[in-house]
Amino acid sequence: MHCHEVGYKIIGHDIQMVEIALDPGETVIAEAGAMTYLEQDICFDTKLGGGLRSMFFGGEGLFLATLSGTGSVWI
């Protein structure tokens, strides 16, 4: 399996966010509500995450945001 390095940059000091540069065919998965900004050529889709078990026992959200395309996403 070929491993590809993802381009990212940490922005800020006290309150930080990450800028992730997506190349064609790359996808980022984030918890719903975590995304703060995306560029025009990024496709946004919501999918069912870990199901009810993760929501009740793991304290995580039920849905995940999948972001794909070419451009940057700030999380």
50-69 pLDDT per residue, tens:
555 555 555 556 677 788 88
Report which of residues 37 and 54 the model is more confident about.
37
The C-alpha atoms of residue 66 and residue 16 are separated, in whole angstroms, by: 21
pLDDT of residue 59: 55
Burial of 51 (0-12, 13-18, 19+ CB in 10 A): exposed
pTM: predicted TM-score of the whole model, two decimal places: 0.65
What is the band of 41 on the pLDDT scale with cuts at 50, 70, 90? confident
Tell me the pLDDT band of 39, cut-offs 50, 70 and 90: confident
13 dihedral zone (left: phi>0; alpha: psi -120 to 50; beta): alpha
